[in-house]
Amino acid sequence: MAELIDPFNRRIEYLRVSVTDKCNYRCGYCMPEQGVHPEGRHTEYLDYDELARIIQAFVELGVQKVRITGGEPLVRKHLDQLVSQISPLDGLKEIALSTNAHHLAREAEKLKQAGVTRVNISIDSLNFQRFKNITRGGDLEKVLAGVDAALAVGMTPVKFNMVVMKGTNDDEIEAMVDYGIEKGVEIRFIETMPIGPAGISMMDQHYPAEKILQRVKVHVGQDLVPIQSRSHDGPSRNYLIAGTEAKIGVISAVSQHFCETCNRVRLTAKGVLALCLGQEDAVDLRTPLRDGISDEGLKDLIREAITHKPERHFFNENVHNIQFREMVSLGG
């Protein structure tokens, strides 16, 4: 069986695929207020056939999990067509979706039928006005309708991703846990990360994962039992609330990095293979693809790229190296 092994003996099994760097929301830690294309021109993206061809190459090299991201992936039309192209690939065990859920009520059934198995939903507040402020115009009612649609069609587990920001929404940690228990969704609390000017500007609101876990433990009055990592957990450290079926997780990219177990790379909508969320290392796949590279040549190019995957990110030590990137262009 083919496999991709990086220089630090990590098996690369997980590909995050951004289908667009546009988003209908403007969360401060992710995107500039004016958007990524304020001048009105949009950089040419890979079409679905090109994306599917790259994904197939990765799957033939041992990737088992693909996550479709953005920007906001559901602002790109007919996303279910891409899912339908890749879902039959032999060896691909999971197709996940990350979304703000604004359009999910409309798309959930089509995406589930096409092959999406589960969904992560970005939701940073359960207060309607605060949610609108954080997203600079988002509609929490539509997001919650999207949550219900995902649950109804069986995109399970449904997970919430909450970026905890000191002084902005950290007072909602307990409320988010309660909502997760009530709805049967897993809550993941994420530290702010210094990626791009937007992310760097928000680091004064950083709230460490260990404080989040302590507050959850006090709130529920129960121990938090560590859960052995599951295939779909990615970088999250996950816990079961003792005596319940409820699960929570934390992603602590800054306070406690998880690089030693990193098994993922990212493909941007422009065809750039980003080897690390927190480093500059990247390889252009679009140009050789459009220049007529063969399938074997494409796989050789991917193999060579993986030999340059760095050992770890350096968010705290070398933050200026990643200022040129925006989180929205990397797919998170």
Q: Which of 162, 165, 129 is nearest to 147 (CA)?
A: 162
Q: Is the pLDDT of residue 37 over 80?
A: no
Q: What is the pLDDT of residue 254?
A: 61
pLDDT in tens, 122-151: 999 999 999 999 999 999 999 999 999 999
CA geometry: angle at 260 spanning 255 and 173, to 5°? 35
Pairing verdict, β 247-251 and 237-241: antiparallel
The domain limits of the chain are 14-330
pLDDT in tens, 48-94: 999 999 999 999 999 999 999 999 999 999 999 999 999 999 999 99
| Ramachandran quadrant class, 40 (left: phi over 0; alpha: psi -120 to 50; beta: rest) | left
pLDDT in tens, 215-254: 999 999 988 999 986 655 667 889 998 888 889 999 876 6
Classified by CATH at the fold level, domain 14-330 comes out as TIM Barrel (3.20.20)
Is-contact 151 180, C-beta < 8 A? no
Q: What is the pLDDT of residue 6?
A: 95
pLDDT in tens, 178-209: 999 999 999 999 988 766 566 566 678 889 99
Is-contact 79 68, C-beta < 8 A? yes
**Does 255 or 268 have the greater pLDDT score?**
268
Q: Is the pLDDT of residue 323 over 60?
A: no
Q: What is the pLDDT of residue 30?
A: 81
Q: Judge if pTM exceeds 0.85.
A: yes
Q: Is the pLDDT of residue 15 over 90?
A: yes
Residue 7 φ then ψ, to 5°: -65, -15
